Structure 1
Amino acid sequence: MAKLNQTKQIAFLSGNEAIAQGAWEAGLKVAAAYPGTPSTEILETLAAHYKDIDAQWSVNEKVAYEVALGAAIGGVRSLFACKHVGLNVAMDPLMTSSYTGIKGGFVVVVADDPGLHSSQNEQDSRWVAIFSKLPMLEPSSPSEAYEYTKLAYEISETFDTPVMLRSTSRVSHTKEDLETGSRIEPAPVGELTPDIAKYVMVPKNAYAKHILIEERLRKLAAMAEKSKLNRIEMGDKKLGFITSGVSYNYLKESFPNASFLKLGMIYPFCDKKIAQFAKSVKQLVVVEELDPFIATHIKSLGIKITTKHPSFDIGELRPEYMADLVAGKKKKEVPATTRKPVLCRGCPHRFVFNTLRKLKFFVTGDIGCYTLAATPPMATLHTCVCMGAGITLHEGIRRAQPGKKIAGVIGDSTFVAAGITGLINAVYNKVKGIIVILDNSTTAMTGGQHHPATGKTIKEDPTKKLILEDLVKACGVDNVDVVVPYKLDELENLLKKRMDEDALSVIITRSPCRLIEKKYEPAPIYEREKCKACGVCLRIDCPAIHKQPDGTIEIDEFCAGCKLCVAVCPFGALKPHDKAIETK
């Protein structure tokens, strides 16, 4: 993360850091989010570098959105950030906030994930702008992310509306030199006075506000026609592109002499400017990542365009795709060199899933590091839909298959974010079975962020620590156990005992994430002459164990010394060391 000073300077910033810098310069006071790649660094940057900003990790995206909206209603500039699937969680307040409007500027940052680098779907958040009738800006670079964020606050307060800022993985994580500025303090917060017609969305008030929303959209569309956000760059008139976001950069690199209409405000559309540009070029091509969002609208205007082959609607675009895309050809996938996603060396979750596999349980999963247990050879997580579904899918499948051994798993952060209501529902509706809360004391998958059960805030300040077992009992669960996952026999016996009972049980497996604790032990001693090349140790899917051509193994120097391989080896070819060391 860049070291940011609060004075004018040239800074090498990622898109997420640039959004944070732009928001600070615009006078941001309150920011709220739930961690989610590729948006996480926005709040981390705000918390780390701008002590005058009230930044928080909220329990989930709905809560975060409402906190930020409340701050805007209270008269200060605020920001909400999430990844694309996180926006689903915040949709309830988002839709109605379009009706209420704001007092202080409110920017809603959503970071999409074309290519599904770290997500369970590839939804295109641009459609939310139409659905919610909110304006949306889309930067193509960190420098634009910085400028657009500042401009978004002006638009928000001018038009009394939340403003959406859509990023993508490449824009969020690309870095660029940009010149930063100083903070502009907005006007002082006025008195908090009731305005029932504006902020209380009962049917009568909401009907009147809907009329104002449609008027607002017309005014925003008029602004879009004149705004520098949408710019025409005339070049060779034989070929013209209408594009937005990172696609603009790829096209400029591949077709530097072409003409461009670059859309920085992608909703509402600048129809007159689009028609003007269309008349000025011989061939008009629309290029955009994911869905044909822009193309669909331009076609509705009766303008003839060339669009990408439907194969390009899937996955992220790349510079090397541009020639084939413009030629109307089907996408030729360019294979990337990747490393198989796998649980870290020494991860406590590996012990849990190895035991669940041994017991032949069907496992309903959730969103977190433990999702990686679905990959072979572990292959012991059998569903993954959304946050909280590890508990609720468990209930639904149990009702369909009452005689099966089914366990639901969910992480500590995910349980607090989205699992509590599902657990209450299970208790209320008399569900039997096992829910395993994998408590590694962090939000690990997104980089080790705090949550209510860690006892610290985003700024590392101590706070009231949520005790998970007390919360589970408060939900009505009578059978609550806490176990250290490294104690394999105890874990296995407990799982078998609870599965055989005619009750709902919650087992909390508690051990800190290895990346936080940083406590390792020496690698086990491998006695090759005892090895029968049976492959049992390879099935635990440890990245420190490597299969050799003759079926034996090698253990590399990054072994965490967790001893799971020792425990599963049926021939005693692996033996533990005793001495612990603090770091490796």
Structure 2
Amino acid sequence: MAAILADRMLLSGDEAVALAAFNAGVRLGTGYPGTPSTEILEAFARLGGKAQWAPNEKVALEVALGAAFGGARTLITMKHVGVNVAADALFTAAYTGVSGGLVLVSADDPGMASSQNEQDNRHYARAAGILMLEPADSQQAYDFTGAAFALSERFQLPVMLRMTTRVCHSKSIVEQTPVPPPAGDPDFRRDVPSRVMIPAYARPAHRKLRHKLALAAEYAEHCAQTVVDMKGKALGIIASGVAAAHAREAAPEASILQLGFSYPLPMQAIRDFVASVEHCVVIEEGDPILLTELRADGLAVEGKPDSFRFGELNTERVRRILAHDDSPEAAPLAGKPPALCEGCSHRPVFEALHRLDCIVAGDIGCYTLGVLPPFSGMDTCVCMGASIGVGLGLRHVLPAAQARRVVSVIGDSTFMHSGLTGVAEMVYNPPPGGHVLMILDNGTTAMTGQQEHPGTGRGLMHEAAGKIVFEDVLRAMGVDSVVTVDPMASGTDLDQVIREALDSGKLSVIVARRPCILAAPKIRQYEKIIIEKKKTAESGRQGSGAEAS
């Protein structure tokens, strides 16, 4: 983020969202770090906004929903798979509605630059019944964010701002124009039928939701986010998000309808556009969602070959789609494969697991790289927190000789995110031969950029915060054996520690704790500042006490 804000700046899409949220009077930003969304809350906090990391995305949305019930504007950020975690609250939030503007940023990752799947979260808007806006560049990220808060308050619905990796991380010029201000200050007004979703209230709430969506569809027909760029009649392109930018570059002569308000769709505007051109092509990244909906409406539109469903689109790929060129694409240039850092404390852990021929149920984090040679130390990786459940499932069904080799491996931030319920399952339904869980605690959320979590004792801006001590929680939950080791300390025999846990037949947790080699210098600096601030505060209190006496 620019140190001195100007009317015209070069910003990434993430920075543009943060700036618009700050200018829109957002009272709270919350979320869980996940590439490519992480920088939004960090930029918002640097601007002076109140921002915090939640333990996971579901909690973030619930906190944001409470703030929105109180009439405050709230921003929630997460990557696309994080919406899966938040979905339980999201679907019902569409029924309850909101008072203050609530905008959820879903940062999708076509091409899976840093993700375990390529899901298209446009499906969520349709399934949950919430509004969706899709910016194509940083300027639209700024403009659409401001509009999203106003739309949320107008229709009293959550709005999903769907970003993608290219929009989040690419930089373009942003003109800092005024954004719609909030209607008023936070204020809670009791509305039990709207906010208590027992069946008697939920049934009419569903009908009310469908009415809101119908009104929103009417609004979308002529709103600023439905952008019609008429040129020639020979070719028309319908697109949303960054695909519209690619289409403009690939076919400068074509007329383009950009669906910035992508749910609910402005169907009459779409019909009029299709009728105005001789040939119409839908260009969309990911699933053929627009194509399917438009064809269901009886519109004669063409889509892309199925081979272009995978990965990000770019200008050249759009040219190929328009030219009906579905010949095999050139393989991408091979790059250097990712690897655990030299000196990373996860290295000896995976070396030990490999030597002991363990069956390893893994998890999401930089330690997932333990699957690669030379470690080859991970057998499964599904989603955040799945290592514990998957490991338990294997323990329950495998022959005893194999079951004794099963180990679940999870990181510290991931443990806070969704590992606690796995521990509850482990204690409640223990396998006959026990189980071994390893928490690789490097003191940070390393892979997404060294963010904090509830186990570090530091907040989003690295200030002092409450700290959850893993060992205390594990013992309180009923784990038989909890051992803490430094995997790189001289005298630590990891093989022996793991072997003893495997042979014990008990529920065992090994906390392998050593700060991330990249984050360690920063952590020491953060802790030093925290200590100095505590000393200053104590001196101030003592001075006040002396004056009072």
Compared with structure 1, are the counterparts of its residues 306 and 185 closer, same or farther at alpha carbon in structure 2 (3 Å cutoff)? Answer: closer
2:447 counterpart residue number: 445
Alignment of 1:450-489 (within 5 A): 450-487=452-489, 489=492
| 8 Å contact kept, 2:147–2:180 | no
- The structure 2 residue matched to 1:359, chosen from 356, 360, 384, is 356
Distance 2:317 2:126 in 1: 29
Which secondary structure does the structure 1 equivalent of 2:233 belong to?
Answer: strand
Compared with structure 1, are the counterparts of its residues 326 and 176 closer, same or farther at alpha carbon in structure 2 (3 Å cutoff)? Answer: same
| 8 Å contact kept, 2:279–2:301 | yes
Alignment of 1:90-105 (within 5 A): 90-105=86-101
| 8 Å contact kept, 2:485–2:492 | no
User: Equivalent pairs: percent with the same residue?
Assistant: 44
Deviation, 1:184, is 6.8
Q: Structure 2: which amino acid aligns with 1:170?
A: R
1:27 counterpart residue number: 25
Segments of 5+ residues of structure 1 without an aligned counterpart are 520-584
Deviation, 1:333, is 4.0
2:111 counterpart residue number: 115
Distance 2:516 2:2 in 1: 27
Deviation, 1:182, is 6.2
Deviation string, structure 1 residues 458-489 (Cα, Å, up to 9, x no partner): 02221221111111111210200000111475
Deviation, 1:402, is 4.1
1:194 counterpart residue number: 190
Q: Tell me which moved more, 306-315 or 482-491.
A: 482-491
Q: Structure 1: which amino acid aligns with 2:191?
A: D
* 1:492 is aligned to 2:495: yes
1:423 counterpart residue number: 423
1:271 counterpart residue number: 267
* 1:42 is aligned to 2:40: yes
Distance 2:449 2:394 in 1: 32
2:9 counterpart residue number: 11
- The structure 1 residue matched to 2:506, chosen from 497, 503, 507, is 503
Deviation string, structure 1 residues 210-269 (Cα, Å, up to 9, x no partner): 111111111001001111211211112111100111111111111101111111011101
2:58 counterpart residue number: 62
Distance 1:289 1:334 in 2: 19
Deviation, 1:390, is 0.8
| 8 Å contact kept, 2:30–2:51 | yes
Which secondary structure does the structure 1 equivalent of 2:493 belong to?
Answer: helix
* 1:285 is aligned to 2:281: yes
* 1:220 is aligned to 2:208: no
Deviation string, structure 1 residues 30-55 (Cα, Å, up to 9, x no partner): 111000001000111111221xx321
1:581 counterpart residue number: none
TM-score relative to the length of structure 1: 0.86
* 1:348 is aligned to 2:348: no
Q: Structure 2: which amino acid aligns with 1:267?
A: Y
| 8 Å contact kept, 2:150–2:180 | no
Question: What is the RMSD computed on CA atoms of the aligned residues?
Answer: 1.5
Q: How many residues align?
A: 515
1:413 counterpart residue number: 413
Distance 2:108 2:388 in 1: 26
1:530 counterpart residue number: none
| 8 Å contact kept, 2:147–2:179 | no
Q: Structure 2: which amino acid aligns with 1:501?
A: S
Alignment of 1:139-538 (within 5 A): 139-181=135-177, 186-189=182-185, 191-330=187-326, 332-403=329-400, 404=402, 405-431=405-431, 432-487=434-489, 489-518=492-521
| 8 Å contact kept, 1:110–1:165 | yes
Which secondary structure does the structure 2 equivalent of 1:90 belong to?
Answer: helix
| 8 Å contact kept, 2:71–2:186 | yes
Deviation, 1:382, is 0.8
Distance 1:184 1:215 in 2: 24
Q: Structure 1: which amino acid aligns with 2:253?
A: N
2:529 counterpart residue number: none
Deviation, 1:193, is 3.0
Distance 2:206 2:179 in 1: 35
Distance 1:184 1:37 in 2: 28
2:531 counterpart residue number: none
Deviation string, structure 1 residues 334-370 (Cα, Å, up to 9, x no partner): 4134220111111000110001001110100000011
2:537 counterpart residue number: none
| 8 Å contact kept, 2:143–2:179 | no
| 8 Å contact kept, 1:398–1:406 | yes
Which secondary structure does the structure 2 equivalent of 1:218 belong to?
Answer: helix
Deviation string, structure 1 residues 495-516 (Cα, Å, up to 9, x no partner): 1111111111000000000001
Q: Tell me which moved more, 175-184 or 119-128.
A: 175-184
**Going by fraction, where is helix more abundant, 1 or 2?**
2
Q: Structure 1: which amino acid aligns with 2:395?
A: R
TM-score relative to the length of structure 2: 0.92
Distance 1:276 1:183 in 2: 30
| 8 Å contact kept, 2:34–2:78 | yes
Deviation, 1:415, is 0.4
Deviation, 1:8, is 4.5
| 8 Å contact kept, 1:27–1:183 | no
Distance 2:465 2:513 in 1: 20
Distance 2:152 2:93 in 1: 12
Distance 1:336 1:303 in 2: 39
Q: Structure 2: which amino acid aligns with 1:287?
A: I
Segments of 5+ residues of structure 2 without an aligned counterpart are 523-549
Distance 1:282 1:191 in 2: 53
Distance 1:511 1:181 in 2: 46
Deviation, 1:181, is 4.4
1:554 counterpart residue number: none
| 8 Å contact kept, 2:36–2:109 | yes
Which secondary structure does the structure 2 equivalent of 1:307 belong to?
Answer: coil
